[in-house]
Every structure is written in C-alpha cells, then in structure tokens.
Structure 1
Amino acid sequence: MSTDHPPGLDLDRLRALLDRERPGLLDGPLSGRLIEGGRSNLTYAVSDGTARWVVRRPPLGHVLATAHDMRREHRVITALRPTPVPVPEPVLLCEDEEVTGAPFYVMEFVDGTPYRTAGQLAALGPGRTRAAVLGLVDTLVALHSVDPAAAGLADFGRPEGFLERQLDRWARQLASSHSRDLPGVDTLRASLARTLPRSPAPAVVHGDYRLDNVLIGGPDDGIRAVLDWEMSTLGDPLTDLGLLVMYSSTAVLAGSPVATTAHAPGHPAPAELVERYARLSGRDVSALAWYTAFAWFKLTVILEGIHYRHTLGRTVGGGFERIGELVPVFVEQGLSALREG
C-alpha cells in the first residue's frame, strides 16, 4: 500500500503502471509528496524507498489542454536529453486519464536547488552567485544552439509571425482582466506593436527562463537541470534573453510575486549577461530593448490578472493586496526600456 496520498496522484495506480511499463524499475511501495512552489502544473516527488522520481501533471479541475500539455513537456525534454542542455531523463508518458485523473509524465529526480530570492542566493557567496548566473546565460546559449530539425522539433512551433502572435495574445489577456485605468499601458502595447523587430533564425525557446527554473548543484556542479518547459516552443530566442534581463533587474520590487535575485552580492548586471550571450551565441542583440520591454509588458499582464482576481475574491492566501500598486511600476519599466533602446 502507498504510504502517502498527495492530492491529484494515485500512487497505487502509478505503481501498477510503472510495474507494467517499466518492469524492475521499482523496489517497493511508493510514497509521494507535492513539491511546493510551482505556479501552474503540479509537481510531485515520489520514492520507492531507494530511488526517487518526479511526476508532472496539470492542475486539479478544469484546465486548458494547450496550456498544460504533458505530451509537449515530455517531448521537449526527450528531444533535449542527448544535447548539451541539462534536462532530467524522461521515464514514462501516460495519457490515460484513468490512472490518476489527467495525463502525466515521470522523469528522474535531480538533486539541486532552485534559487528564488536574493537572500537564498546570498548564502552561496558572491563568487558562486556570479558563476551560477553566468552559467544561466551559458545554458541559454546551449539551448538556442540546438538544431530543432536535428532534435526532432522542427514542427514544435510556428516561428513565422511569432512576435505578432505573442503580443496579440498578451494584449487580449490584458483586456480580459481590464478593471481600471492603467496609465501608459496602452502606449506600451502600441509602441511594442509599432516597433516589432525582425526575428533571428528560430530556436527552441523555453518561455520562462530564469534562475528559479533551474536546479543548481554543489560548488563545482553548476546547473544540473532546466525545469518547467510548459511554455516552450519554436520561436524567437531573444524573448528568452529579454525575460532573463527583466528578471535580473533591480527594478523588480521586493514584495512582488516576480522572483528576483538581482540584489544578491556578486550577481552580474543585465548588461554583462547580454554581452556574454551575444559573444557566445554570435547573435545580434541590438534590438534587445524591445524584448526587455515586451517582458515587462507580459509581467504587467500577469500581475494585473492577479490583482483583478484578488478584487473578485478569487485568490487564496495572503500577499496579494499590494500587487495592484506594483503594476504601474512594471508599465513604467517597459516604457523606460523602449525609451532607452
């Protein structure tokens, strides 16, 4: 019998499936726990008492299949496994909802730490902090260097018109959360639409690339695994770099739900990250101000959506009451990025 029963995961049925599909993998009954910190799909650690694995499934209740596509996540880590990009080894994909209520996949458990705050990162010391963040850039270059066709990902997205669709998607999402005047947000959206850059050659894009979506190992291990591939696609690689620059900005305020480690001693400045990416990748980053402004716009939309749900009483937990006042700061940062570019 299972020793734990985490919500959304039937460990007895999972054990039966693994015994059937991967005979000899398990040594004993499974126990499991929900890993806290995920913002969308649910992540569990399971163990047979000897080894550990990770299970990923969509959130409980009604979900959009396109936003929580387990086959897509499993496909990209399977494709990237033979490349220099560090990803967990996939074990099994199950699309039979009878097993645990939704499609899910199993992958190896990778030891490591996702650093979410400057305080957590400061414990590493300035030298290791610097190495970890520069390693984040190096791994991003490795990801964007993967040949999609050679990796079997030639049809993983629609690169043509990628930026236009992305901007339209986030603008529509903002409209669906419209509950108040937000000075400057229409100007930001219109300016982004008017100054769309020409995308470089398409690459595999992570979609939410930042320090707390990777696992950092011991003092000399660097990045052991890149996680949370739910937004990955084939598109403009500079959208990943723009997000990384935004997340590395000291303008991300404490108290916002946006994780930032930029204030940690030893953390490289955004300009150094951009220079390193350009030098190692050989890509033209002269239009990066647009991509950074777009990243600020995306986070504006996300935060305004949280604020809107909070005003309707649809958020659970604390810490949401200040989000509304933080949103205009993100709008101004987006406008500032465009002006400085």
Structure 2
Amino acid sequence: MTVDDEEVTLDAEQRGSLGTDERTALRRWLAATLRAPVDSLSVLADGLNLVVAVSTTSEADAYVVRRPNELRETALFVDTATEYAVLERLVETPVPVPEPVAHCTDPSVLGAPFVVTEYRDGAVVPLGSRLPERYRTPAAREQLTWETVDTLARLHDVPVAQFRDVCEHHTPREQVAADVRRVERVADAVAADFADLLAVGDWLREHAPTDGPTRLVHGDFRPGNLLYADDPDHAAANAPNGETADVPTRAATGTRGDEVATATTATDGPLPRVAAVLDWETPMLGDPRVEIGYLLLRWRDAGDVTPSLDGFAERYGEATVADLREDNAVGMAPFTSEPGTPSRRAVLDRYERATGIVVDDPEYFLAHAAFTLAAVCADLHRRSVAAGADSDHHAHADYLRAVAETVIDGRFEI
C-alpha cells in the first residue's frame, strides 16, 4: 500500500513532468535567487508534489525544489507560505529539517508557488517498502526505530509559542470531522459505498478525548517522510578495513529475535540516523497522541489480530487482495515484523519516557490513524476515477476501515 510521492519516482532523464519552458524559467529564477549558475535539474518525483533536485556549479551547494501538484486545497493541508514559515522556525531546534532557502510565489516560473530547501543525502522508506539493503540487520532495525521515535519526541518537545501565528490548532475530534467531510464528498462523487467507513468516523467523533496536550505536530510523521543516512558517529561506520564492531545496544526488552537479546549486538554494517524530517505540508498545533498513534499503525507485532479479507477478492480482484494479504502478514512497514525491531509497546514506552506524555488510550489513536489514512485513500480513489484511471485506493480504504473496526471492537491491543 502506498500513497507516497515515491510511487511515481522518475529517472533523471525523463523530462515529461517538467517541460522545456518550465526548465528554462526555473533555471533562470534559481540562478538569480541562489546567485549561482545551475548545473542540472533532476526530477525525483511527480506525484502529490513535483520534487526536483538542483545541482549548481559548486559541489557544496545542492538544493531541492518542491511544488505541490494536488491536495493542498484539502482540509488540514497548508499552503507553501506556511510550509516555509514552519521550516524557518524549526531550523534552530533539535528537529532535523532541510534548511529553507527560498519561497517562490511567481506563477510564471512553475505555474504555482514552490519552496526551495537545501539538499540532504539519505533514503526514505515508503509505505509497504523494505529498508534499504544496508540497514537490513537487527542492529540497524533497532537503531532506525529508536531514531524515528526519538525524532518524534524531539518534535513534540519544541515550544509551541513560535508556531501559533503560522499553524492552526485542531483537536482530535476536529481532525476526524474534517476527514468525515472528505469521505462524504467522495461518496457523493463516485459509485462506491463508504457507509461503513463513515460509521467508523462517527464512533471516533463520539469517543474523541475532550482534553489533552497541545504540541507542534507534523501531520504525516512516518518512515516515508524521514530521510535516513549512515550515523557518522557509530563505530561500525568508521571501523577500519571493513572490520565489524561490537556495539552496545539500547535495552533489549521488547526487541525481536535472539540477535538482540544480549547486552551487545555484533553489527557488520552501518547504522542509520534521521538526517531530516521532510514534507511539511500538514503541520498543525494538535494532540501529539494522534501522531504517535499514526506512527504505530505501521507496526506489526507477533500475534497481532488482523482483519478478515473475506469478500475482498470478489469486490476488488485477486491482484489487489494479494497486496492486502501482505499488509496483514508483515504490516504497512515490513521492517517492523523483522528481527531487531522493537515492539509497538517498547516504542510507545520510549516515547512516553522521552516526552512525559502519557498515552492512556492508545487503541483510540490507532483507530484514529487508520481512519485518517482511509480518508486519504478514498480521496485518491475519487481523483483516479475523475481522471479515468484504474484505482485500487477504494480497496485500501476499505482495508483500513476493517483495521479500525478491529481496534474499536477490542480485538486488537497495543
């Protein structure tokens, strides 16, 4: 399952998504703004956002252009001016973000406003994808997990005062209400039944917490929006002649497999760190428990109850159901079911210790996350139908509805 820009990543030589006139205009604007000649433009993705890597004649200076294509008019998304303002404020915090460089509001360049940031090396982990091969070890999975949750904790520790003038505040109930309206618009536009999904939204509104902490939240915090790079401070990364190093692990409690059951873990490869948090198109002031629930939705622990797929093949076809069976087997982030990855409970415990935020009803926030993602899939289905394209997004929305019901019915626990 994926709703990422990465699903439409293009070869650098493919020119269709950035025409000759746009390339010329963008080169001219960048050269004047950056005060440096542009060496090359490479389209990295052209899905919900057009993402272009920019190299200059200086090897030390590289940038990324990010222009929205879709969804920015949708509730809970922000415009590029807000995106840029949030990045400006985050640069001086412990949250790793690409430094914002410029914000273009001139539609004659790319047809819509866009943001320019510094370029950072690393790899994302799109929804449903395995980790980069270099990180497919128990020790790397463990560190990647801790790096991910620690970065989220740092984000939720940022003082909110400096963001009150740029970010709107949304309670969990208001977020559900926005997504209910989104699904209702889809139901009015396409020949598909979303009654059961809307019933989940009604339950979530009725049972939403009435109070809770307020923090700056990313709105889409997941491995697909994090840039992972090798940790330069790790002994294994600097071991001479390719030698391995015995590296002390964090507490082994809650990790999978005998490989990490001891006080030290032998590692024969690099360990990851979070180099940057990307895609700041949905920031808000909100309840941070919603965001940890959204991250934990991707986890798959041994013994997890999964929704039945009875009837899915008849409704959506066997090829689509094969993808859903994979989600049931290994989770939306497959590395979470592999040796070394800390359990869902261990991740939540670490988050609570780091932030001091107690998530006393984590199952509610898991169901909330499933509904949020189902609403996105439903909207993507509507857009595909409107464009006359094939779509498996309705099936994924239905699957996420079933995931939410499993949690709501008490069959699934953290």
Q: TM-score range, shorter-chain basis?
A: 0.7 to 0.9
Q: Tell me by how many angstroms 1:68 deviates.
A: 5.8
Structure 1 segments unaligned to the other structure (5+ residues)? none
Q: Which amino acid aligns with 1:44?
A: V
User: Could you tell me how far apart the structure 1 residues matched to 2:72 and 2:131 are?
Assistant: 33
Distance in 2, Cα, partners of 1:287 & 1:129:
27
Larger radius of gyration: 2
| CA deviation map 1:26-60 (0-9, x unaligned) | 2x343212112x64222110112433210011218
Please give the residue correspondences for 1:13-92 in structure 2 after superposition, counting only pairs within 5 Å. Answer: 13-23=25-35, 26=36, 28-36=37-45, 39-49=47-57, 50=59, 51-59=61-69, 64=73, 67=77, 69-92=79-102
Asked if the contact 2:31/2:38 (under 8 Å) is kept, the reply is no
Structure 2 gaps of 5+ residues are 1-12, 231-269, 308-320
Of 371, 396, 404, which residue of structure 2 is paired with 1:334?
A: 404
The letter for the 1-side match of 2:130 is G
Query: CA–CA distance in 2 between the matches of 1:207 and 1:63?
Result: 13
CA-to-aligned-CA distance 1:217-243 (integer Å, 9 cap, x gap): 013550000001101111111111111
Aligned equivalent of 1:166, options 153, 175, 178:
175
Alpha-carbon distance between aligned partners in 2 of 1:227 and 1:243, rounded to the nearest angstrom: 16
Matched, 1:130 2:142: yes
Alignment of 1:186-201 (within 5 A): 186-201=198-213
SS at match of 1:114: coil
Change (3 A) 1:275 1:314: farther
Q: Are the counterparts in 2 of residues 41 and 68 from structure 1 also a CA contact under 8 Å?
A: no
Q: Report the equivalent of 1:234.
A: 285
CA deviation after TM superposition for structure 1 residue 197, in Å: 0.8
- The CA deviation at 1:118 is 4.7
Cα RMSD (Å) = 3.0
Give, in angstroms, the shift of residue 287 of structure 1.
2.0
Distance 1:333 1:56 in 2: 33
- CA drift at 1:17: 3.1
Whole-angstrom distance in 1 between the partners of 2:112 and 2:394: 34
Measure the CA separation in 2 of the matches of 1:57 and 1:200: 34
Instruction: Supply the AA of the counterpart residue of 1:140.
Output: L
Aligned CA distance change for structure 1 residues 307 and 107 (closer, same or farther; 3 Å)? closer
Secondary structure in structure 1 of the residue aligned to 2:166: coil
Q: Name 2:358's counterpart in structure 1.
A: 284
One-letter code of the match for 1:270?
Answer: R
Q: TM-score, normalised by structure 1?
A: 0.85
Letter in 1 for 2:343: A
SS in 1 for 2:102: strand
Shift of 1:101: 1.8
Once the two structures are superposed, residues 166-212 of structure 1 have per-residue CA deviations (whole angstroms, 9 ceiling, x without a partner) of 11111111111223335643432222111111342211110011011
Q: In 1, distance between residues paired with 2:298 and 2:79?
A: 25
- Are 1:293 and 2:367 counterparts? yes
- Contact 2:122 2:227 (8 Å CA) reproduced: yes
**Is 1:7 aligned with 2:34?**
no
Distance 1:306 1:101, change over 3 A: closer
Indicate the SS of the match to 2:365. Answer: helix
The 3 A distance-change label for structure 1 pair 248 and 121 is farther
Check the 8 A contact 1:45/1:52 in 2, yes or no.
yes
What residue identity is the alignment partner of 1:255? D
Could you report, residue by residue, the CA deviation over 1:97-151 in whole angstroms, capped at 9, with x for unpaired residues? 22332111211100001022453356511210111122110000000100021xx
Taking a change above 3 Å as real, the CA distance of residues 170 and 65 of structure 1, as seen in their structure-2 partners, is: closer
2:340 corresponds to 1:266: yes
Residue 304 of structure 1 pairs with residue 304 of structure 2 = no
- SS class of match (2:360): coil
How many pairs does the alignment contain?
Answer: 327
The answer for the alignment partner of 2:314 in structure 1 is: none
Instruction: Report the TM-score, using the length of structure 2 for normalisation.
Output: 0.71
Distance of 2:29 and 2:195 partners within structure 1: 54
Relative to 1, partners in 2 of residues 1:59 and 1:137: Cα closer, same or farther, differing over 3 Å? same
